[in-house]
Amino acid sequence: MLNKYPMWKNLMVILIIAIGGFYAIPNLFGEDHAVQVVATRGAEVTASTQATVTDLLESKGIAVKRSELENGQLLVRVSNADQQLLAKEAIADGLGDKFTVALNLAPATPQWLEALGGSPMKLGLDLRGGVHFLMEVDMGEAIRKMEEAKIADFRSQLREEGIRYAGVRKTPRGIEVKFRDAETVAKAERFLKTRSNDMVYTDGSSGDDHVLVAQMSDVYLKQIKEEALQQNITTIRNRVNELGVAEPVVQRQGAERIIVELPGVQDTARAKEILGATASIEFRMVDDKADPAAAANGRVSAASEVYQRRGGGIAVLQKQVMLTGDHITGAQPTFDEYSRPQVAINLDAKGGSIFSNVTKDNIGKPMATLFIEYKDSGVRNPDGSVKMTKIEEVISVATIQARLGRNFVITGLEHKEAQSLALLLRAGALIAPVTIVEERTIGPSLGAENIENGMQAMIFGLAIVLVFMLIYYRAFGFIANLALLANLVMVVGVMSMIPGAVLTLPGIAGMVLTVGMAVDGNVLIYERIREELLAGRSVQQAIHEGYANAFSTIADANITTFMTALILFAVGTGAVKGFAVTLMIGIATSMFTAIVGTRSIVNALWGGKRLKTLSI
C-alpha cells in the first residue's frame, strides 16, 4: 500500500531515537565538584585511605556527597566549589606527600545509569574550564645527545676492532675521528660503514692531519626528531597520569610542538611544574686520579669534566656515561635503615645488563649520580625558540661495593628532592627538553558563561524555527518540529556515546547550524509535496513523490557538507575539530530524522487513507 511502512521499520525508527535519547539523559544531571586522590609516592590508595579521607572531611565539617574508589584512585564529591577547595587543602595536609590531590569535576550521573554505559558529553576547555599548554621540543638537544652517543660508540667500536685513533670530537663539520695515517682512515671508514650506515662518511684529511668526518644523514636526522617528539608525547602522557587528570588531551602539533589540554584542572601551578620540568640522570665513574687543586682551577684531563656537587664542592667525573635515565622503568622514594631519604631505582633488561657489566669491573671505585635539568632562561634564540639553561650537578657519590643489577638506590638527597626526582623518573625521562611557549587558563566561571551563551543562542534559534514551521506548514510543520527536537536529542546522545568526541563552543555553533540544516530537508520535502498537489496529484501520490524526489537534493547537499566537515576534522586542531565532529554527527542524524523519521509519522497518520486535502 502507498505510504505505508512495515512494522519493523517503524520499530527501528523508534528504537534508534530511543537509544539516542537514553544516552543523552546523563547530560541532564550536570557535574559535581570533586577532589581526586592518586598515589604517586610509592603508596597505595586503599579502602583505609578512603575511610581516612571521609573521617578527615567530616571533622572539618565538609559534607561528602559520594566517595568512589576505583582503579587505584579515590574520587570524593562535595557540594560546591568552596567546599572543594577546603577539601583539597584538608586532604593534602592529612595524607601528606605520598599522594597527589587534584581538583576536578565529575559527572553526576546516577550509578544505575553509569552501569548501563551512560555518560555525559565531554566538554572542551572553553566550556569546562582548565589549562592549555603549547610545548616546544628542543630538537637541537636531541641531536646533540645522539651525537654524544655516536662519539662513545665510535670509540668503543674502533677499540674493539683494534683500529688505533688519536681522538674523537664534535666539530662544526660533524664528528671527526683523527688517525695517524691515510691507510688507517680508509680502514676505519670501511669498518664504521658496516656498523653505522645511518652516517655519511667523508675523508676530511688535510696535510698531515688524517681525519675521517662522519655526519648524520638527512633520513637519520628526520628519524631522530620524530622519535624525540613521539617519546616526549608518551612521557608527557605519563606525567599527566601522575597528576590524576581525567580526560586529558596530549597530541602533536607540527614537527616540534605538543599540545596538552587538561580540562577541569584548576591547580595549574602543579601541572606546569610537572609538565615543564625536564630531569634525567647519568651514572658516571669518578676520576679518582684527578688532582683536586688543579680541578678546582678547571685543569683536568681531556677524558674528564668538573661538576658542582649539590651542597657544595666539586667532583671530577669521567666523560664516558655508564648509564642514562632512559633505561629507568621505576623509581620510588624510600628510606634507608637510618631513615635517610633515598630513591629506589628499577632498570629495564638492557639497562640492567649494561649496569651489571660496568659495575663488575669497577668494584671498590667511586661512582657518581649526575642530575641534569633544563630550565627556561627567559631568552629566545634568533629563530624564536626558547633558549634553555642546562643545570648539571652531582647529587651523590658512592663506592661500588658489589656488582649491581636492575635494582639499586640513589642516596644523598633531601626528602622533597627524593620525592620530586622519583616522580619525574617514574613518569619517564624526556629525550629532549621541552618548553611551554604558550599557556592559556580558562576559569570554570568563564566556561559556564560560554555554555549559557551558547545554549541561549541555540534556544532562540530553535524557537524561531519551531514557530515558523508550525505557522507555515501547520500539521506537517508540527511533525518537522518533532523531528527537529529528536535530531538534537540524537546529536547529544551520539556525542555522549563516542569516546573521543568533545563538545566545544564552536561545537555548539555546529549544533545550531544543524538545526537549520535539519529543517531545510523538511522544507524541500514539503515544498515538493505542495507542487505535486498543485499539479493535480492525489494526496497519497503527492506525499510519495515529495519524499522520493526531494531525497536526491537533500542527499547531495548533505554529502558535500559532510565532506567539507571531514576535511576540517582532518586538517584542523582544537576547536575546529570540535566543530567538525558536531557538524558531521548533526548531518547524519538530521538526514535520518528529516527523511526517515518524519516519513514514519506521516505514513502513520495519513498513509493509505483516502484524503482530499492536507494540512500543509
What CATH number is given to the structural domain containing 46? 3.30.70.260
* 20 and 65 fall within a common domain: no
Query: Does pLDDT of 45 surpass 90?
Result: no
* Residue 544, CA distances (Å) to 14, 595, 612 in order: 21, 12, 15
Cβ–Cβ under 8 Å, residues 442 and 129: yes
C-alpha–C-alpha distance, residues 188 and 167, integer Å: 13
Domain boundaries, position 188: 140-220
* 15 and 42 fall within a common domain: no
Residue 500 has a pLDDT of 66
Domain-located, residue 243: no
C-alpha–C-alpha distance, residues 458 and 256, integer Å: 39
Burial of 496 (0-12, 13-18, 19+ CB in 10 A): buried
Q: What is the mean pLDDT of the chain?
A: 82
Lowest-pLDDT range of 125-129, 256-260, 467-471, 607-611: 125-129
Q: Which three cell numbers stand for residue 293?
A: 687543586
What is the tally of structural domains in the chain? 4
C-alpha–C-alpha distance, residues 315 and 305, integer Å: 8
Q: Which three cell numbers stand for residue 41?
A: 609516592
CATH number where 339 lies: 3.30.1360.200
Cβ–Cβ under 8 Å, residues 203 and 185: yes
* 211 and 291 fall within a common domain: no
Residues 368, 373, 376, CA angle at the centre, nearest 5°?
160
C-alpha–C-alpha distance, residues 336 and 313, integer Å: 25
Query: Does pLDDT of 273 surpass 80?
Result: no
pTM (whole model) above 0.75: no
* 427 and 499 fall within a common domain: no
Backbone angles phi, psi at 336, to 5 degrees: -85, -170
* 576 and 453 fall within a common domain: yes
Question: What would the 3-class secondary structure string for 403-434 be?
Answer: CCCCEEEECCCCHHHHHHHHHHHHHCCCCCCE
Q: Which three cell numbers stand for residue 581?
A: 565532529
Euclidean distance between the first and the last CA atom of the chain, given in angstroms as a whole number: 22
Residue 42 has a pLDDT of 47
C-alpha–C-alpha distance, residues 265 and 441, integer Å: 9
Q: Compute the CA torsion angle 21, 24, 28, 30 (nearest 10 deg).
A: 170
* 586 and 454 fall within a common domain: yes
Which ranges in 428-504 belong to alpha helices (H)? 444-497
CATH number where 184 lies: 3.30.70
**Structural element, H or E, at residue 387:** strand 386-399
Q: Compute the CA torsion angle 77, 78, 82, 85 (nearest 10 deg).
A: -40
Lowest-pLDDT range of 134-138, 285-289, 364-368, 437-441: 437-441
Per cent of the chain over pLDDT 90 is 13
Per cent of the chain over pLDDT 70 is 88
Cβ–Cβ under 8 Å, residues 466 and 484: yes
Query: Does pLDDT of 482 surpass 90?
Result: yes
* 435 and 448 fall within a common domain: no
Residues 455, 456, 462, CA angle at the centre, nearest 5°?
85
Residue 493 has a pLDDT of 92
Query: Does pLDDT of 393 surpass 70?
Result: yes
**Backbone torsion region of residue 319, taken as left when φ is above 0, otherwise alpha when ψ lies between -120 and 50, otherwise beta:** alpha
Residue 423 has a pLDDT of 62
Residue given cell 645511518 in the structure block: 198
* 468 and 561 fall within a common domain: yes
End of a domain among 388, 417, 440? Answer: 440
In this prediction, residues 285-305 reach a mean pLDDT of 84
End of a domain among 107, 132, 157? Answer: 107
C-alpha–C-alpha distance, residues 16 and 378, integer Å: 57
- Residues present in the chain in total: 616
C-alpha–C-alpha distance, residues 488 and 27, integer Å: 13
CATH number where 472 lies: 1.20.1640.10
**Residue with more model confidence, 25 or 312:** 25
Domain-located, residue 156: yes
Domain-located, residue 229: no
557-575 tens-digit pLDDT: 889 999 999 998 888 766 7
Residue given cell 526517515 in the structure block: 596
Q: Is 109 helix (H, G, I), strand (E, B) or coil?
A: coil
* 526 and 578 fall within a common domain: yes
Residue 97 has a pLDDT of 64
Residues 6+ apart with CB under 8 A from 47: 69
* Per-residue burial over 247-283, b = 16 or more CB atoms within 10 Å of its CB, e = otherwise: bbbbebeeebbbbbbbbbbbbbeebeebbbbbbbbbb
End of a domain among 387, 412, 440? Answer: 440
Residue 485 has a pLDDT of 92
* 397 and 475 fall within a common domain: no
Q: Is 232 helix (H, G, I), strand (E, B) or coil?
A: helix
**Residue with more model confidence, 385 or 119:** 119
165-199 tens-digit pLDDT: 888 888 888 899 999 888 899 999 889 888 877 88
Domain-located, residue 518: yes
Domain-located, residue 132: no
Cβ–Cβ under 8 Å, residues 35 and 99: no
In this prediction, residues 529-538 reach a mean pLDDT of 89
C-alpha–C-alpha distance, residues 490 and 585, integer Å: 9
Domain-located, residue 506: yes
Helices 575-591 and 539-571 pack at an angle, to 10 degrees, of 160
* 289 and 159 fall within a common domain: no
Cβ–Cβ under 8 Å, residues 376 and 388: yes
**Residue with more model confidence, 169 or 348:** 169
Domain-located, residue 271: no
* 390 and 285 fall within a common domain: yes
Residue 332 β-bridge partners: 344
